[in-house]
Chain A
Amino acid sequence: MAHRKKVLLKVIILGDSGVGKTSLMNQYVNQKFSNQYKATIGADFLTKEITIDEKLVTMQIWDTAGQERFQSLGVAFYRGADACVLVYDITNPISFEKLDSWRDEFLAQAGPRDPENFPFIVLGNKVDQENERRVPTQKIELWCKAKNAQQPMSFFETSAKEATGVEEAFQTIAKIALQKGQDDDIFVPAATIDLSGAATKSSGGCC
């Protein structure tokens, strides 16, 4: 495995203001929670290296601002994304209702090749506040099925505060995105290059 291909995954986190996007990212990357995160302006950026199926994967995570006014910026951050994490707050039904528009907006601005099968994942955050829950689990289940009946989106209920479900959620989206990337590579033969070195004729240029 000397020539393990380095894989980059660009992941975008979207969702309404205050649902916990920054907290989720920081819990996942730094295993930390704080009540003190300032509102994200534009987008924040963190990375994490993980291993999936023997592959070393670098996740580049863009945590975006939730306020609608910043949506015109989307194109600068969304382009080239491999996966998208949609977040709502289980205590805030409006944030759940906005999932549709976040998804549509993302697809419109990112312009992925295959929007129908673009890797999305949905996180219902703040399950540590179960007694204030106002979005039943069933609702998100239905929503995910409604978006894609054959291959419903994965969803997780998480708590960035108590680290519930966070690791699993990001692992899952990484796997889905990786799988999707491989499928695409099979689809587009030009992108499948043998990097093992065995069949290399010359170590020529890149053109």
Chain B
Amino acid sequence: MNETSPKASMFKNALHKLSKKEKEKPSHFLASSASTGGFFGRKKTATHPPFPGSVKASPFCNAQLPPVWATPPPIPKSSIPATKSPAKDAGPGPRNAAGNLRSEQFAALIKNDKESVDLEKLRELSWGGVPVEFRPLVWKLLLSYVPPNKDRREAVLVRKRTEYQDLLGQYYYIPDTDRGMKEQETLHQILIDIPRTNPDIKLFQHPSIQKSMERVLYIWAIRHPASGYVQGINDLLTPFITVFLSSFVENPENSDLAGIAEETIKEIEADSYWCLTKLLDDIQDHYTFSQPGLQRMVQRMEDLVRRCDADLYSHIVEKEQVQFVQFAFRWMNCLLMRECPLQSIIRLWDTYLCEDNGFENFHIYVCAAILMTFGDALKEMEFQDLVLFLQSLPTKEWEEEDIEPLLSRAYILQTYFADAPNHIPQK
């Protein structure tokens, strides 16, 4: 029973805490969009199940599904005057519902004297967000880049970092004349894209970070000729660099790398390379010729929206003749990195890393949840406004706190629909 599983109850707790938290907290993005008619109107909440954990038992399972995902659990933030919340002024602080307690839980799981980290437990705990100080290690563990066994970890890191240096010697640090046509084209494309990767974030304008990214992307492309470098993969590298750098500086995004040893940057580069490789291993056909994986994801998202909110689907596709691929392609190709700020993406990835092939499966539910979040507003729009809106979502302003309710809606969707393969074609 879903309700009794540890993840579900943890999730329930988190949601409960969140809803309390949100009552106190205004949201600038909602405040700004309130004038457009309230995307999060409460008119449907009468049919709202009290907890997502109880969805399996809800009477809506077999009947016409209520658009629970179209409205977030908490009271609409737009109804709260837009004053700056004290919680936000207090700085980063505890990231998750249970605050410090979560940090202690992570500490207990990772730093105790046990030989090995229980990955299953780590996944359960991390689903709700990983505290900043644990994230670098937790991500490496969840991606199986480092082994759960504590004693072997350091040796593995040393070996993988050396291996990466060897790859650089073999493929990167060679005369340009030794590169074939294809390699030169790859390098050319990467060099075009590096300066325009997160151009608004100081860290990614730093020459040594740009050099690191160039090497990582180049080596990855050379070692994965079936896809090679595809635009958007550069975006996917940035969360790793940011997270791994956070072990050394407080605010990596604004760091000028002062006081950080060259050797450290090299290690971050190598770790980022291997973690990016792990991430892309699961979704390689997203980037191979004609990108079948992405086409499949867009299709699945479309099917999901059709089932959940038939009116929204027919408005977009039939009435206004907008194809899902026209807006959702980028959501898939860049895993929403173009739609949300980096910090929110990092929080999103905590959860993706805990889900089974989260960067493909769970991501579809997240994308559908985003679309349906704005369903009421979208249904009022004609072609031109619809495309403009979907191309430039209000999610650009979302912060980590805005990601939590999104994840809960995606989770509800998954709970409803993941076991309905007839309706939503699986891979």
Determine the chain B residues whose CB is within 8 A of the CB of A36 once the complex forms. 196, 199-200
14 contacts between A and B (CB under 8 A): A18-B192, A38-B197, A38-B235, A39-B193, A41-B330, A41-B334, A41-B338, A42-B326, A43-B326, A44-B391, A45-B387, A69-B287, A72-B291, A73-B291
One digit per residue, 1 when the CB lies within 8 angstroms of any chain A CB and 0 when it does not, for chain B 386-426 equals 01100100000000000000000000000000000000000
Of all chain A residues, which has the CB nearest B388? A45
Answer yes or no: A65 CB below 8 A from chain B CBs: yes
Determine the chain A residues whose CB is within 8 A of the CB of B327 once the complex forms. 42
Q: Is the beta-carbon distance between B196 and A38 smaller than 8 angstroms?
A: yes
Q: Is the beta-carbon distance between A38 and B329 smaller than 8 angstroms?
A: no
Answer yes or no: A77 CB below 8 A from chain B CBs: yes
Determine the chain B residues whose CB is within 8 A of the CB of A192 once the complex forms. none
Q: Is the beta-carbon distance between A73 and B325 smaller than 8 angstroms?
A: yes
Within the complex, the shortest CB–CB distance from A205 to chain B, in Å, comes to: 17
Determine the chain B residues whose CB is within 8 A of the CB of A38 once the complex forms. 196-199, 235, 338
- In whole angstroms, how far apart are the Cα atoms of A17 and B230 in the complex? 12
Q: Which of A37-54 contact B (CB under 8 A)?
A: 37-39, 41-47
Within the complex, the shortest CB–CB distance from A28 to chain B, in Å, comes to: 16
Answer yes or no: A60 CB below 8 A from chain B CBs: yes
Q: Is the beta-carbon distance between A39 and B199 smaller than 8 angstroms?
A: no
Answer yes or no: A186 CB below 8 A from chain B CBs: no
Q: Is the beta-carbon distance between B384 and A42 smaller than 8 angstroms?
A: no
Within the complex, the shortest CB–CB distance from B341 to chain A, in Å, comes to: 13
Within the complex, the shortest CB–CB distance from A80 to chain B, in Å, comes to: 9
Total A-B pairs in contact (CB under 8 Å)? Answer: 71
Q: Which of B206-240 contact A (CB under 8 A)?
A: 228, 230-232, 234-235
- In whole angstroms, how far apart are the Cα atoms of A153 and B192 in the complex? 29
Q: A17-B189, A17-B231, A69-B287 are in contact. Are A76 and B326 (CB under 8 A)?
A: yes
Q: Is the beta-carbon distance between A37 and B230 smaller than 8 angstroms?
A: no
Q: Is the beta-carbon distance between A69 and B289 smaller than 8 angstroms?
A: yes
Determine the chain B residues whose CB is within 8 A of the CB of A60 once the complex forms. 384
Total number of A residues with any Cβ neighbor in B under 8 Å: 24
Q: Is the beta-carbon distance between B333 and A41 smaller than 8 angstroms?
A: yes
Answer yes or no: B149 CB below 8 A from chain A CBs: no
Q: A17-B192, A18-B192, A72-B290 are in contact. Are A42 and B333 (CB under 8 A)?
A: yes
Q: Is the beta-carbon distance between B231 and A67 smaller than 8 angstroms?
A: yes
Across the interface, A41 reaches (CB within 8 A) one of B197, B329, B388, namely B329
Answer yes or no: A138 CB below 8 A from chain B CBs: no
Q: Is the beta-carbon distance between B326 and A41 smaller than 8 angstroms?
A: no
Of all chain A residues, which has the CB nearest B288? A69
Within the complex, the shortest CB–CB distance from B336 to chain A, in Å, comes to: 11
Determine the chain B residues whose CB is within 8 A of the CB of A44 once the complex forms. 391
Determine the chain B residues whose CB is within 8 A of the CB of A58 once the complex forms. 384
Within the complex, the shortest CB–CB distance from A42 to chain B, in Å, comes to: 4
- In whole angstroms, how far apart are the Cα atoms of A81 and B333 in the complex? 24
Q: Is the beta-carbon distance between B325 and A41 smaller than 8 angstroms?
A: no
- In whole angstroms, how far apart are the Cα atoms of A73 and B327 in the complex? 12
Answer yes or no: B323 CB below 8 A from chain A CBs: yes
Answer yes or no: A101 CB below 8 A from chain B CBs: no
- In whole angstroms, how far apart are the Cα atoms of A17 and B194 in the complex? 13
Of all chain A residues, which has the CB nearest B334? A41
Q: Is the beta-carbon distance between B384 and A77 smaller than 8 angstroms?
A: no
Q: Which of B177-212 contact A (CB under 8 A)?
A: 189, 192-193, 195-200
Of all chain B residues, which has the CB nearest A76? B325
Q: Is the beta-carbon distance between B231 and A47 smaller than 8 angstroms?
A: no
Determine the chain B residues whose CB is within 8 A of the CB of A46 once the complex forms. 388
Of all chain A residues, which has the CB nearest B232? A41
Q: Is the beta-carbon distance between B192 and A37 smaller than 8 angstroms?
A: no
Across the interface, A45 reaches (CB within 8 A) one of B193, B196, B228, B391, namely B391
Within the complex, the shortest CB–CB distance from A200 to chain B, in Å, comes to: 25
Q: Which of A47-94 contact B (CB under 8 A)?
A: 47, 58, 60, 65, 67, 69-70, 72-73, 76-77
- In whole angstroms, how far apart are the Cα atoms of A109 and B408 in the complex? 40
Determine the chain A residues whose CB is within 8 A of the CB of B387 once the complex forms. 45
